[in-house]
Each structure stands twice: as structure tokens, then as C-alpha cells.
Amino acid sequence: YKFCGRDLSKYLSWISKIQVNHPAVLRRAEQIQARRTVKKEWQAAWLLKAVTFIDLTTLSGDDTSSNIQRLCYKAKYPIREDLLKALNMHDKGITTAAVCVYPARVCDAVKALKAAGCNIPVASVATGFPAGQTHLKTRLEEIRLAVEDGATEIDVVINRSLVLTGQWEALYDEIRQFRKACGEAHLKTILATGELGSLTNVYKASMIAMMAGSDFIKTSTGKETVNATFPVAIVMLRAIRDFFWKTGNKIGFKPAGGIRSAKDSLAWLSLVKEELGDEWLKPELFRIGASTLLSDIERQIYHHVTGRYAAYHDLPMS
């Protein structure tokens, strides 16, 4: 679905008039946080489902080929084999949804996954991650190089200043160029919502990103002081729903940053199920960006199977 000419002007005019009801969003967020979670075997089932949505991530300055290799092995074998056998899930092919790395580490990830004999997608951050404060030409080249190296998903960051100054058409044009540079690769657009100033700006930026051709919209880089929060997620999910009603296009959602516990992951699955329905609960439309979440999920599954909590050495490193 392409927006251009008068069609684009009409939508930009509509977007500029939007206001988000802040108190109503906060009330909805409180409902989610106050809710009791599922227990016992239902919890184990939801946690295994959550594993399949994880973009297993390492974005550290000290990343090396060896810890990328370890990350990729963990992506293929996210839960210990004996635990899966106890749950009769050992033959279901449970892996994480993708691995996510810096552009310079894409080759390492592609090579490690190939050696492991699996086709888990490699996602790369790009466009001057996390700040996005480099020249547009450099940001576009970074996307092209990551795709050349084998990345099939690109997590781009937007220029926050365009949102803060209300330059919606310029933001649209920039993301369109990102989309073109991605070619066949999926485009996941990081809004860095903690730096957008208001929930109204979050909604507007979400709509522009989707109009410009994003396959996913993502809350955060994980490097901001405020990352994935429920109020922001509610606004983004409602934007996805509105966009679907207007165009018939389903756009994915990816919360990232600060999602560390198994309990957190259950709340996020529940929120997406309630706001968008079961059809969004699949890796093509929902991801969780996380680096430490998988360890806690595996720990909770270990507890469900054995009745005791795992010691640090009981579970494989990622």
C-alpha cells in the first residue's frame, strides 16, 4: 500500500490533528500490570511460546566472534533438551525467532547459524544505532552492507529530531529510503519512544513508520533511559490496529529494552493477545527484543519440571 501525492497529504493532515488521551492510556496500562498471570502447565506453555518470539540479542562493545557463536547456538537450542522431553516438546523445533547483532557481526552470525545447520534469521541494527545521528548517506550504506553480509531483517532507528519538530513528511521520506535500501529484507523501525516527548508523538511516529513501509514497529533501542513500557505499547498497538482497519495491512510489533523476567514476557503476550488478537501471536507479527530474558524463562521451566530452581551452573550459557 503506497501513500503518495494527495493521498499522503490527506493522511499527514489527519495525523497532525491526532491527540492521545493520556489518562485513559495509563488506566489501561494499570489494568494489565494488576492482572494475575497464568500458572502451572499453562504458564509453561505460554513461556515456551514466548521463546519463539525472542530476537536473541547482543549489542555490546565487546562482542566477538566467539560470543556470537555461543548466542547462535543458544538461539537454536534455547531450552535444555531434557526439559523439553519432560514436557513432550522436544520434537517441536522450538528456537528463538531471530538473533540480533551489530552490522559488523552479521557475517559471524550467518556463519555460526550455517554451521549449526539452521535457518534462524539474522537481524542487524543499522542507521547509526542507537542515536541515529549520522549522515543519511552513511545510514543507508550501513543498511546495504548488512543486507550484503546476509542480514534478512534490519532494525533501523529514526531521527528523533524530525518527530520532536513535527517534520512528518521528512520522517516519511527518510523511512521510505530505508525501506528501499533493505530490498527483500524485513524493515523493523525503532521509534525510541523514551525520547519522543509524548504519547501523541508515539502514535504519530508509529503511523508514519507504517505508512512508509515498515514491516514492524519497535519501541526502543534498549539504550535509552526509558525503554519498553505498557503505556507506550498500548499506543503503538492501537496505531497498528487503526492502520490495519484503514489499509488491510498487518504490521508487526516488537517491544525491546528492560524485558528481563519470564513474568514480564507473559504480560506482553497477554497485552498483544487482548489488543490485536491471536493472529498477531506469531513470529511474523510479534517479537520481543531481549538479551537476558531467555535465561529466566529457562529457569522457570526448569522449576516447573523439577520443582526446584536451577543453580547458575545447571543451565547452558548464552
The residues annotated with a catalytic role in the active site are 218, 254
Q: Is 217 left (phi over 0), alpha (psi -120 to 50) or beta?
A: beta
Measured CA to CA, the distance from residue 117 to residue 127 in angstroms comes to 30
Q: How far is CA 155 from CA 9, 111, 221, in A?
A: 27, 20, 9
Residue 187 pairs in a beta bridge with 154
**Which cell goes with 299?**
529457569
From CA 139, how far away is CA 51, in angstroms rounded?
31
Q: Coil, helix or strand for 213? A: coil
d(CA 32, CA 28): 7
Peptide bond into 130 cis (omega under 30): yes
Dist. CA 27–CA 134, nearest whole Å = 38
Residue 39: CB atoms within 10 A of its CB come to 9
Cell numbers standing for residue 315:
543451565
Q: How far is CA 261 from the centre of its chain?
A: 16
